[in-house]
Amino acid sequence: MDIDSIKREFPIFDNKVQNNDLVYLDSANSSQKPRVVIDRIYDFYSKEFSNVGRSVHYLAVAATNLYENTRTSVQRYINAKDKNEIVFTKGATEAINLVANTFGQKYLEEGDEVLLTELEHHSNYVPWHFLRNSKKIKIEFAEINEAGEITIEAIKNKITNKTKIISVTHLSNVTGAILPIKEIVELAHSKNIPVLVDGCQGAPHLKLDMQELDCDFYAISGHKMYGPTGIGVLYAKKKWLDDLPPYQGGGGMINEVKKTGISYGELPNKYEAGTMATAQVIAFNESIKFMEKVGIENIEKHEKELLDYGLDILGKNNSIKIVGNPINKGGVISFTIEGVHPHDIATILDEDGVAIRAGHHCCQILHEKLKLPATARASFGIYNTKDDIDQLSQSIENCKKIFNI
């Protein structure tokens, strides 16, 4: 791959940050956008805009077709069996809330258990916590091992006859651990337990095949896949979408409305109430095409090379402690420097144009387990190079000099 050529497709890298070339190492937070995605939003609003699924005039029909084309592209990209198993949401957070609310409403009762892990992002904990308050369910956590990963044994040890659903991340946004999703699903299904996967970090970096993974639900965030903000995807097996109640009420999700009752629309309209983020959905199609053009296998290979290089370079620095050492790891390196708060690290690195994340990364439970108030995190995207990691390393040295380390 010609990474320099790919990088030129992202306009943001034409700009300077603090009078330096931008070194963007925060893709686990949100990825940058290629020009085709940005231009698609502009073109839709300026030349093609209409609401979808409502009117029969030319613009409305054309917009509806474009909107549905994205659904077909998502189906192909994740190898879902049916395009109607693709539900558009405003993000992965809403996708998880959709499942927690509808599944919880229909199937969870007082004393039932939901099994999570200690790696979970708040988006895959807080919605279940709401049910703990409203329906008196219990939440159990599979524990990480010393490498910062979740083993199949850790899941197995926490399953009881009260476990009603398992909800786990695909790839940790802190330790980078890639969970054995297929094995977890096989174990869960042997006990008739459905599985939801938080794919925020999985979808941009790993090859997905819903029919092979066989999970019941998979949540995707568009803005981490080189796509717009405000768009996400819930993949759900058709049997669940048919069975579960609607999540929100309003226009677009109904079939017939009378004073005496309401019937709901066919899938996936049943779960897409109101005016959707049409421009974002249509532009998301361009981000999928972009990733398909590059090739997910090439993305995985490139990010693995960056990860190995970064672990080697940073691992040689005695002042740096890398957080987690999972066997299967994605392109995330979280670290600490003794005597320097992660926020100070990030602030000083920013002066060199190096953008990283600092804090608890919406994973306070994990950081509490690690006995760390916060960590610094460098995360990779397709536009990153080994030169970016060299600049990261040099900026860390500058940081150490400031703190006399």
The per-residue DSSP string of 98-119 comes to HHHHHHHHHH--TT-EEEEETT
Q: What is the Cα–Cα distance from 389 to 393, expressed in whole angstroms?
A: 6
DSSP β-ladder status, 86-89 and 113-117: unpaired
Q: What is the Cα–Cα distance from 53 to 163, expressed in whole angstroms?
A: 39
- Please state, as a whole number, how many other Cβ atoms lie within 10 Å of the Cβ of residue 267: 18
DSSP β-ladder status, 23-24 and 354-355: parallel
- Provide the β-strand partners of residue 141: 116
Of the candidates 98, 77, 121, 72, which has an alpha carbon nearest to the alpha carbon of residue 332? 121
Sequence-distant (≥ 6) Cβ neighbours of residue 302 within 8 angstroms: 1, 3, 382
Beta strands in 162-246 (DSSP E): 163-169, 195-198, 217-221, 232-236
> The dihedral of CA 247, 248, 252, 257: what is its sign?
positive
Residue 29's identity, in one-letter code, is N
- As annotated, the active-site residues are 362
Contact 251, 55 (CB under 8 A): no
